[in-house]
Amino acid sequence: MSLRGKSVLLIIGGGIAAYKSLELVRRLRERGVRVRAILTRAGAEFVTALSVSSLTGEKTWQDLFSLTDEAEMGHIQLSRAADLLVVAPATADLMAKLAQGHASDLASTALLATDKPILLAPAMNVRMWNHAATQRNLARLTADGVISIGPNEGEMACGEFGPGRMAEPEEIVEAIETLLVRKATLAGRKALVTAGPTREPLDPVRYLANRSSGKQGYAIAAALAEAGADTTLVSGPVDLAPPPNVTLLKVETGCEMLDVCESVLPADVAVFAAAVADWRPESRADGKLKKRDGDAAPLIRLARNPDILATISRSKNRPALVIGFAAETENVVANGEEKRRRKGCDWIVANDVSAESGVMGGDSNRVHLISAAGVEDWPLMDKREVSRRLVERIGAALKRPAE
């Protein structure tokens, strides 16, 4: 892969890790990348504009309200002239500004004005990183399509140990290569993904549902789109932003989800990550079910929901590759293998969703990829990384030219 001819706008935040940004510039320049830099006021406490300009060979921008700079290159043009914006180090303050849409200085204004991908390399004290506000902002940014690398674990300048160290320059360069010269391995392919829970109504205000957040399915849809696939995401009710370059179709019930999935076919690959309710109320009350003193609890009769994975696996429009998910609380691999055979799909991604695993609603996952060839046990990783790795496998399985 070659980065020659690419352009990066580097935003240097205020933290001790700012010194690594100088090495990052050097590594990028070695690969033929044009680097322009914005040095924040806090960043200038750690590195100088002269040092940055000496390495980039370009003017270093600092002031939002410099008339000269605005005449030469406004913040909008500065943010859009690059192929990628990289924030390194990405401080808690910069992440908060970006997550909330603030535009109070040149860095935050450029980030808000861009129409290009953004890569964050967070760096901060471990307690700041683990704080609920920072994790909330990270989740918001991830849902908005912002990519992050790190932070790494290790000893920090403050003497504490844990996650918070900025990723090393070579790691960031590798992430930049992946973003800018990623091969469109699934270009010309059509992908279908399901995500989230379903809601099966009891009456106009109550429903049966589950704890699925939809994060894994949304991440898979995003990764498929990044690989060039024409991707449709059929989603149950979730609180997530639509992935970039993905067609989002929203549904409520399992029956609706099946109908929409069938309407999307044919497709080359289908990934059924949704947690579809196995059962639905046999009938829905027209009015709210009332509780009155002395009344016995109502008897709710359940009907079996359609089996979307099995139905599509046996459909005349069956995709070349059908992948299901098995959310288990015990005997994860054995139950996943049995489900693959019973449903007729090609692969099963099995995971442990017991309460102590933290998978349901969490940002990490530990999965087992089960196929006729055997079982791959993947380590605990971010759901986005699970998605990228799964898409790599999909690309390899569909490597024949698209018809």
Give catalytic residue positions.
158
Same fold, 7-180 and 190-397: yes
pLDDT of 9 reads 96
Give domain 190-397's CATH superfamily: CoaB-like (3.40.50.10300)
In the CATH scheme, what is the code of domain 7-180? 3.40.50.1950
pLDDT at 25: 97
Tens-binned pLDDT, residue by residue, of the chain (403 aa): 578 889 999 999 999 999 999 999 999 999 999 999 999 999 999 999 999 999 999 999 998 776 455 445 566 778 878 999 999 999 999 999 999 999 999 999 999 988 888 999 999 988 899 999 999 999 889 878 888 888 887 776 666 777 788 989 998 998 888 788 766 789 899 999 999 999 999 999 999 999 899 999 999 998 999 888 999 999 999 988 888 789 999 999 999 999 999 999 999 999 999 999 999 999 988 898 888 777 888 788 999 999 999 999 999 999 999 999 998 888 999 999 999 999 999 999 999 877 666 666 577 788 999 999 999 999 888 888 899 899 999 999 998 544 4
Give burial (CB, 10 Å; 0-12/13-18/19+) of 148: buried
pLDDT of residue 401: 47
Position 337 scores a pLDDT of: 95
Q: Where are the domains of the chain?
A: 7-180, 190-397
